[in-house]
Structure 1
Amino acid sequence: MAAGGRNRSQRIFALPPLAALLLLGGCATLERQGVVPQKPSAPAAAPKALGDTPEEAERKKLIALYGGDYRWPKAENYLNEVLARLAKASDTPTQPYRVTILNSAVVNAFALPSGDLFVTRGLLALANDTSEVAAVMAHEIAHVTSRHAFLRAEQEKTAAVITQAARVIQNRQKGEQVQANAAQTIAGFSRQQELEADQIGISVIARAGYDPFGASRFLSSLARSSEMRAALIGQKGGSRPDILSTHPSTPERIAAALQAARQIGAPGIGETARPQYLAAIDGIAFGDNPMDGAIRGRKFIHPRLGFAFEAPEGYALENSAQAVLGVADGGAEALRFDSVRAPQGKSLTDYLTSGWIDGLLSSTIRTGTVNDLPAVFADARAGEWNFRVAVIAFHDDLYRIIFAIKAMTPAADKKFNESINSFRPITPEEEKLAQPLHIRLAVAAAGDTAQTMADKMALTDRPLQQFQLLNGLDAEQLKPGETYKIVAY
């Protein structure tokens, strides 16, 4: 949560209650590879120089959306060398490409028609060798060469015209049916584009001399990453694809990628170039941008702003420039934590009742303190959801903590109050705990296991699973002399 990410005009719960609570801040979720995200409610401003072309303006906007570019020359240079090799093996060998690393822990990659490719440092941390990251970049090149964005836009335009015509000529209900059918058609069209880009990309990396099985390995890691995140918030793994998903389910993509690679040859063909790739990402930042605070388990620590806050047991937290968001019990409970500049001449109660939150129950408003800091508390209700709200004054800012739950039981009331009362000035120990994390390399010795390597990780939340995920491992046993990724300061 960045100090510069505040939106003073935000009004909470204007959407359906839980959706508003979760989506208002542009939560940094694990997005599917290849998706260019929608603009969040309060994105960072993208610098636009006088005379920028539309393509350059779009490029700057996307970079700003993902927290800016991340300067790591040895990885950037290596990826551009791989890109040049892929371009020569593609159907457009003269098309120039360049890669930009984005300062985001989200796992994502996408491309613009200009030949600009973007990969997040979160994706680089998840990939395990050059053939895997080459598969991702070749997939994005395929989107560009196949003009997928243009074709999808044309299909959406046609669908909109047909829907409008159905509403005018027949009736609104018929128009809504046509719109629903069109949405399913476009979703299927998009899923087919993703499968096509996978197939083209696998063919390209094979022609470039890389292991064509790199695509299926990376997709498997992506699936495991998604499943781990779902488990953290109490949701079952999504084996059933959403019919309106813009991407095919990952198991479908893995199966198709394996089939495409087997048609090229047996496992073991082509380069994986694992040592070269690991050397290129050694030292790269891992996790949230420390400038926006750090999540350590259930605790959120912001050294620059000087506070710490702890979510209740069972909450999985995610950070963005606009807010810290939390989910528990498969989405049945949620929290939002953000800040605004303290308005001049207004008391905390004046601010709380100034109209930024719907459904406020005025009879529940009460003033008090949180660790000697002035605070005001209240409840709100909207539809079937109940909300616990706290606003705490700290330095020149107001920190807003909002919990959402359907039934406000005594147990829920107690845990929400305990969490609110955890807001406090940072301690020296917490400041040390919030130091930036990085990908480091460790060589396995004889007798090392995944657990002994996980014990070296500077992670408090599921370190063993995180180690296995980062290294694409299923087994405990490691190969002596092999290099592995760990997360350390």
Structure 2
Amino acid sequence: MSKALLLLSAAALVASGTAVTAQYAVRSLDPRLVAEARQEHTQVVEQYGGAETGPRAAYVDEVGHRVAAFSGVENPAGTYRFTLLNSAVENAFSVPGGYIYITRQLMTLMDDEAELAFALGHEVGHVAAAHAQQREQAERRAVRQQLPWILLGGIFGGNFGNAVANRGLLRAELQTLSFSRDQEYQADDLGLRYLVAAGYNPSGGAEILGALTRNSALQARVQGKDSRKLPEWAMTHPLSENRMQRAFAEAQSTGRLGTGITNRDAFLQRIDGMFVDDDPAQGVIDGRTFLHPDLRIQFTVPVGYLMDNGTRAVDISGSAGQAQFGGGRYNGTLENYIYSALQELLGDRRVPIPQPRRTVINGIPAAFTVTRTRTSSGVVDLAVVAYQWAPGTVYHFVTLTSGGAGLGQFASMIQSIRKITPSEAAAIRPRVIDVVTVAPGDTVQSLSSRMAYRDFKMERFVSLNGLSPGARLAPGQKVKLIVYGERRS
């Protein structure tokens, strides 16, 4: 594995233990690691929703470099690169070559610039302290967790197989969550040190940890019915109360708690209108259903199966098999499409491919076939189901189940695909942050009723704003709502 990613996910922040007080900063980064980070940057960005551009991205870059200036690394302005990702998962992560990423979803949980500065400073600390060089064992563990996809690509070969394998390898890099206790605390301490040196209020660390703790508790309640599969590197788990208390105690020990820069109004202005949850341009996961308004696609996965919505495909996984949905422009017959897909998957393996069978699913011409092959993990059934979506456009499912299962539990998913109507597509709108000024008479109850969710409206509102259900709001106070917005043109 070429490198590790270092993350500020809720899971990565759950460790407890003694703090590391010494600062170990490399004077310059290994040119090999820098080259690797630069080479894989495009792939990371593409895989996780694309990069935000414009004033908001420039703002993240400005704050990042403000704290990175105190990291002890030579030429910090040229060493670090900060990227704001269009991702619906709350997280920040870094690579040892100096590339640091933060998601828009994490920014929506924040309340001021000091919290953003701490999150970025935490990742700068991981890079400056060369933590990735200590990560080989954790990386090997992550690779083992992604072996089903990596082996699938290696077994079947071809361009498609290579893409699957590469994606599995990238995921393995992105899911190295279990930092050592000392590394996490050292990154926290370094982030706090940079925060104070840059003139920020040291409360930023405890506050973002508190926001993540609240959000984790909330998601534990509402995501039990949600079939979104978060990337392993971004999975959220409850934060330790001790961890947040430690961050507060460390902030108090600086003697500067309550002083310094917060830039709350400027920060809220920056995130006003920011997407929350899914970007409809990438498709939307709603429970067990996937919808794409532009492609006018809808399908539903079986109970207990999880979806991972990538930029080019949707991966589906569960205890009894794996599947992938993709496709696009294609001129030719459905039979030839299926043969071509299977040949790419199988590579040089000589496996008989049964003649595809024609059918019609919800008015859509379709064809499918199932073949069987032996892998190092045993005999598996490999199927391709192709849909003639429009002239020159074909979409498909690839399914992988145990030998003899055929389509297995995926049969219902394959039958569920349909074209949504223009009105249904138009109704799919993004959720966005709306920063509002509390007016006389506004209450937690009245404002939370405007949240763009079907359930847990008040719980979401108070969690987002760090309030209690019985809190009294003061006229002129600024709070965040999540409302339905307009899609990007």
Q: TM-score range by the shorter chain?
A: 0.5 to 0.7
Pairing 1:258–2:248 present: yes
Give 1:300's match in structure 2, choosing from 290, 301, 305. 290
Aligned match of 1:100 in 63, 78, 83? 83
Q: SS where residue 234 of structure 1 aligns?
A: helix
118, 130, 146: which one pairs with 2:129?
Answer: 146
- Name the structure 2 match of 1:440: 434
What residue identity is the alignment partner of 2:325? D
Counterpart amino acid of residue 393 in structure 1? Q
Offset at 1:424?
1.7
CA contact (8 A) 2:48 2:311 kept: no
The one-letter amino acid paired with 1:195 is Y
Indicate whether 1:338 and 2:335 are aligned: no
Deviations 1:311-357 (A, max 9, x none): 56787654222433567xxx668874512356844539965995869
Alignment of 1:80-479 (within 5 A): 80-92=61-73, 95-96=76-77, 97-112=80-95, 115-152=98-135, 190-232=180-222, 234=224, 250-251=239-240, 253-265=243-255, 268-311=258-301, 317-325=307-315, 336=323, 338-340=325-327, 344-347=332-335, 354=342, 368-375=359-366, 391-395=386-390, 396-400=393-397, 420-460=414-454, 462-475=456-469, 477=471, 479=473
Give the letter aligned to residue 105 of structure 2: G
Distance 1:146 1:101 in 2: 23
Specify whether residues 354 and 271 from structure 1 end up closer, same or farther in structure 2 by C-alpha distance, changes over 3 A only. closer
How far is 1:277 from its partner?
A: 0.7
**Root-mean-square deviation over aligned CA pairs:** 4.9
| Change over 3 Å in CA distance of 1:472–1:246 after alignment to 2 | closer
**Percent identity between the aligned chains?**
31
Answer yes or no: is 1:486 the counterpart of 2:481: yes
Indicate the SS of the match to 1:133: helix
| Conservation of the 8 A alpha-carbon contact between 1:136 and 1:215 | yes
Q: Which amino acid is the alignment partner of residue 372 of structure 1?
A: G
Q: Distance in 1 between matches of 2:379 and 2:255?
A: 56
2:166 aligned residue? none
Contact 1:187 1:247 in 2 (8 A): no
Matched, 1:67 2:58: no
Task: Indicate how the Cα distance of structure 1 residues 114 and 299 shifts in structure 2: closer, same or farther if over 3 A, else same.
Answer: closer
CA distance 1:147–1:417, shift in 2 (3 Å): closer
Q: CA deviation at 1:112?
A: 4.7
Q: State the AA in 2 paired with 1:136.
A: A
Whichever residue aligns with residue 83 of structure 1, its letter is: G
- Per-residue CA deviations over 1:431-463 (Å, capped at 9, x if unaligned) read 122234332212233443444334323344644
Q: Is the 8 A contact 2:12 2:177 kept in 1?
A: no
Deviation of residue 293 (structure 1)?
1.5
Aligned-pair distance for 1:70?
Answer: 0.8
CA distance in 1, matches of 2:111, 2:441: 22
Larger mean CA deviation between 423-432 and 257-266 belongs to 257-266
1:108-166 deviations in whole A, cap 9, x for unaligned? 22335564432221221222211111111111221222222234459989xxxxxxxxx
Q: Distance in 1 between matches of 2:237 and 2:327?
A: 40
Equivalent AA in structure 1 for residue 335 of structure 2: S
Structure-2-length-normalised TM-score: 0.64
In the alignment, the residues of structure 2 paired with residue 231 and residue 248 of structure 1 have an alpha-carbon distance, to the nearest angstrom, of 12
Relative to 1, partners in 2 of residues 1:211 and 1:384: Cα closer, same or farther, differing over 3 Å? farther
Change (3 A) 1:54 1:392: closer
Q: CA deviation at 1:427?
A: 1.2
3-state SS in 2 of match to 1:56 = helix
CA distance in 1 between counterparts of 2:136 and 2:400 reads 39
Distance in 2 (CA, whole Å) between partners of 1:316 and 1:470 is 26
Deviations 1:231-264 (A, max 9, x none): 55539xxxxxxxxx99998316434323322322
Distance 1:58 1:393, change over 3 A: closer
Number of the residue aligned with 1:78: 59
Query: Following TM superposition, by how much is the alpha carbon of 1:404 offset from its aligned partner in structure 2, in angstroms?
Result: 7.9
Question: How many angstroms apart in 1 are the aligned matches of 2:188 and 2:248?
Answer: 10
**CA 1:352–1:119: 2 relative to 1, 3 Å:** same
| 1:22 match | none
| C-alpha contact (below 8 Å) 2:88/2:276 kept by paired residues | yes
| Paired residues of 2:216 and 2:236 also in contact (CA < 8 A) | no
Aligned residue for 1:250, secondary structure, equals: coil
Name the CA distance, whole Å, in 2 between partners of 1:62 and 1:443.
37
